[in-house]
């Protein structure tokens, strides 16, 4: 059984839903119609929820700051995902790096805010992501980290606790090593 008030923090694109890859870099869906939940995700999240973990999506969506995607489109995408999956909370940074906010991963602001909101014990929690920003945010927040390696042609994380190929594999490990 897991520790009290533990969570699994999840990056969105490439972890929960398909992220089209162009020139080795993943991109988010542009509308709810483009959301495609990855294989095994629904079962993995149901298993984590059944074990008592809170499920929190923490996602950078800088296209809003860049003016190439509306906040309402991001909210609609989250609504679509929330209808299909048992997510407790969506936490979104709408800023770009130049904004120097505290919520944009690799800073831990999104995780820290969620922990305060849901009374989450960070040291008993996991951050699962497919990019270096995700694992760095998890480490900075005091979580154990799982890197889903899709082989992107970009900076790779230097530090993480576990490297896997899918959320289903990550969930199996989390459930076996609470």
Task: Enumerate residues 6+ apart whose C-beta is below 8 A from 116.
Answer: none
Distance CA 143, CA 121 (A): 9
Given the residues 13, 63, 130, 134, select the one marked as catalytic. Answer: 13
Residues 81 and 12 sit within 8 Å (Cβ to Cβ): yes
pLDDT tens digits along 140-170 = 999 999 999 999 999 999 999 999 999 999 9
- The pLDDT tens digits of the residues spanning 55-65 come to 999 999 999 99
Chain centroid to Cα 116, Å, comes to 17
In the prediction, which pLDDT does 123 show?
96
- Cβ atoms of 128 and 167 within 8 Å: the answer is yes
161 catalytic residue (yes or no):
no
Cβ neighbours around 89 below 10 Å, total: 18
- pTM exceeding 0.85: yes
CATH class of 7-176: alpha beta
Which pLDDT score is estimated for 73? 96
Which one of 11, 63, 130, 134 is the catalytic residue? 11
Q: Where are the domains of the chain?
A: 7-176
What does the mean pLDDT of the chain come to?
A: 95
Does the active-site annotation cover 176?
A: no
pLDDT digits (tens, 9 = 90+) for 53-95: 999 999 999 999 999 999 999 999 999 999 999 999 999 999 9
């Amino acid at each position: 059984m897991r520790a009290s008030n533990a969570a699994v923090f999840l990056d969105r694109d490439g972890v929960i839903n398909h992220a089209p890859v162009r020139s080795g870099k993943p991109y988010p869906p542009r509308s709810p119609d483009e959301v495609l939940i990855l294989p095994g995700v629904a079962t993995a999240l149901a298993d984590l929820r059944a074990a008592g973990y809170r499920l929190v999506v923490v996602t950078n969506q800088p296209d809003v700051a860049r003016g190439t995607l509306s906040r309402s489109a991001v909210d609609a995408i989250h609504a679509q995902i929330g209808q299909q999956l048992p997510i407790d909370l969506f936490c979104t940074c709408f800023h770009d790096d130049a904004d120097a906010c505290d919520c944009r991963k690799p800073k831990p602001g999104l995780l820290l805010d969620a922990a305060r909101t849901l009374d989450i014990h960070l040291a008993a929690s996991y951050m699962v992501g497919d990019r270096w920003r995700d694992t760095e945010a998890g480490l900075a927040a005091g979580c154990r980290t799982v890197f889903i390696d899709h082989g992107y042609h970009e900076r790779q994380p230097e530090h993480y606790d576990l490297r896997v190929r899918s959320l289903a594999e990550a969930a199996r490990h989390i459930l076996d090593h609470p």
